[in-house]
Structures are given as C-alpha cells and as structure tokens.
C-alpha cells in the first residue's frame, strides 16, 4: 500500500465514512493512478479533468458514476493533500433531472407474482413494502427487524452515507419476513448462525451479493410483461409515491427514506396521481395488502 493511499484511508476512517464510500473513493484514486501510471499527487487539475472526461466519453460511464469519482478526487486533493478549489478545481457534471418510470399498483402486483422463486419473491416484496435501498436490503440483519407490537420497525444501521434510521414495519411486511424465516433451515435459525436476512448462496456466513436481486427484478418484469425502464430501485420510487398518495406527509417520508434534504423527497409529489384519495395513516403502511390480487404463480427455488 502506498503512503498516499494509507493517508487517504486514515482520513476517511477518521471521518467515519461508510465502507462503500471508502471503497468507491479508493477505486477512483487507483484508476486515476493506473491511467497516468504515476502517483495522483504528481498530477495537475487539468489531467484529473481529462481523466474524468475519459471516463464519460471513452468508457461510457454515467454522469452519476463520474461525479462519484469527482467526490473522491475532491476529498483526495482538498482534504488529504490540502489543495483549495482555486489551486485544484474539480467540476461536477450537471445531471439532468429525469422523472422515474413508476409501476402502477397492478404492475407491482404482477411483478411480485412473477418472481422466479421464493427467495426472489420475498426480497422483491420487502423492497416494495419497506422502501429500503438495495445495499440496505442485502445487509439487513434479523436483529434489526423489530416485530413487537409497540415497536414495529426496521433499524437501518448502515444507510447511504453511513447514516442510520428507523423505518416503520407494517403487519403485512412482518408476516412476509416471518414466513421467510420459517422456511430457513433449522441451522440457519440457531443462535450461533449468521444474522443476515438474505445470505449468499455460496457462503451463508456472508450477506447476499447485490447483483442477484437486480436479475430477479428483470426476470420478474419480463415475465409480467413490464417494459418500463428501471431496476430494483423502481420499487423504492413506488413505495414513496404510493405512501404519499395514501396520505403520508413529505417530512415523515423523508425520514423513512433517509434523505438528507426534504427537497429530494418532495420530487415524488410530482408523481402523485391528481385523483389520489388521502387514506388513513395506519392503513397507508400496508402496501402489500393494498395491491390487487393477480393469479398466483408457482415460486420454485433456484436450481
């Protein structure tokens, strides 16, 4: 490990950065060093900007991915190396604000009914009914699922940016989780077993990899005849919009989604149906029960 990489790691640990952020920043720094075949501290601001242009224009990476690398470079040069923006300017790309393609409640119901197997069906149902991000779902532990009558919630310990939060747990969602746990082998339910709700197939001591749920979503969408763009994150958009339509206020939803700014949550107001009726607060959380009931599909386990 080079001294510069160690300095950057130490600076991120000192500031309590989330593990995924640490990995992303180190990955960006390593890519920059490989591209120019020298230490990043020897580069000019123009060279760093040229590399960012290379990522987008030549490697066809999205603006959001390039901006993530830019954040890593800003931390490296601004915080670790102590260079100000006048000495070392690293711009962000202005990203177009696109309205996500939402699924109707009927489409959500068909998607869940067409899940390729039980594991996929449980994961997709929890994604829609809790609004958790993909990484949060993959790293969810049984110890963070609270089903007591006076404290029904999911404790997200490592959300985006390393921030924790509490997300309400509806009775229908709790029932899905209880049914899923009952299906687990007896060894997986013992006190010394791994605490992950969803484990990796190859090694049950590790959490599920985040690529599998994306494949499950695409397979279910294809089987359901859904052609709208988007991946698993679409279910989080549906969760937010359907709760707003059911009467949950924006500031409460902001806390549940883990957004830093209420303006981020308020974007979902543009997706709310004009004719949406305001529902009762307690019933509004039961998103799964509010879905229409399509023809049930068999859910075999993957081979």
Query: What is the helix (H) or strand (E) element at residue 168, kind and residue range?
Result: strand 165-168
Alpha helices in the chain (DSSP H): 3-14, 19-36, 45-57, 63-74, 105-113, 118-130, 134-138, 171-183, 211-223, 233-245, 250-257, 262-266, 281-284
- Known catalytic residues? 133, 160, 233, 236, 259, 268
CA distance 302 to 251: 40
* Token pair 């993909």 in the structure block, residue: 134
Written as six digits, the tokens of 251 are 């500031």
Length of the chain in residues, anyone? 303
User: What is the three-class DSSP state of 302?
Assistant: coil
Q: Give φ, ψ of 127 to 5 degrees.
A: -60, -45
DSSP code, position 225: T
3-state secondary structure of 228: coil
Distance CA 147, CA 169 (A): 8
According to DSSP, residue 217 is labeled: H
Alpha carbon distance 29, 5 (integer Å): 8
DSSP string, 189-211: GSTTS--BSSB-SS-TTSBPPTH
**131 Rama class: left (phi>0) / alpha (psi -120 to 50) / beta:** left
Nearest to 269 by CA among 99, 96, 131: 99
């Amino acid at each position: 490990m080079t001294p510069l990489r160690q300095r950057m790691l130490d600076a991120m640990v000192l500031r309590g950065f989330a593990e995924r952020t640490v990995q992303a920043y180190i990955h960006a720094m390593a890519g920059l060093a490989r591209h120019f075949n020298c230490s990043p501290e020897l580069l000019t601001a123009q060279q760093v900007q040229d590399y960012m242009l290379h990522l987008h224009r030549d490697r066809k990476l999205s603006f959001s991915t390039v901006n993530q690398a830019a954040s890593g470079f800003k931390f490296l040069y601004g915080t670790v190396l102590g260079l100000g923006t006048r000495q070392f300017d690293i711009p962000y790309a202005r990203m177009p604000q696109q309205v996500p393609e939402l699924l109707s409640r009927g489409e959500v119901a068909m998607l869940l009914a067409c899940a390729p197997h039980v594991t996929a069906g449980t994961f997709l149902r929890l994604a829609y009914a809790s609004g958790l991000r993909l990484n949060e779902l993959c790293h969810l532990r049984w110890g963070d699922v609270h089903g007591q009558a006076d404290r029904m919630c999911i404790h997200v310990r490592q959300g985006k940016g390393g921030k924790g939060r509490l997300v309400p747990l509806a009775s229908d969602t709790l029932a899905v989780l209880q049914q899923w746990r009952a299906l687990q082998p007896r060894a997986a339910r013992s006190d010394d077993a791994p605490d992950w709700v969803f484990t990796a197939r190859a090694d049950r001591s590790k959490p599920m990899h985040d690529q599998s749920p994306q494949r499950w979503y695409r397979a279910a969408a294809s089987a359901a005849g859904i052609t709208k763009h988007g991946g698993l994150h679409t279910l989080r958009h549906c969760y937010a919009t359907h709760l707003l339509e059911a009467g949950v206020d924006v500031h409460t939803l902001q806390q549940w989604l883990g957004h830093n700014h209420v303006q981020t949550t308020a974007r979902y107001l543009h997706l709310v149906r004009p004719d949406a009726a305001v529902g009762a607060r307690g019933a509004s959380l039961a998103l799964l029960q509010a879905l229409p009931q399509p023809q049930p599909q068999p859910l075999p386990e993957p081979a």
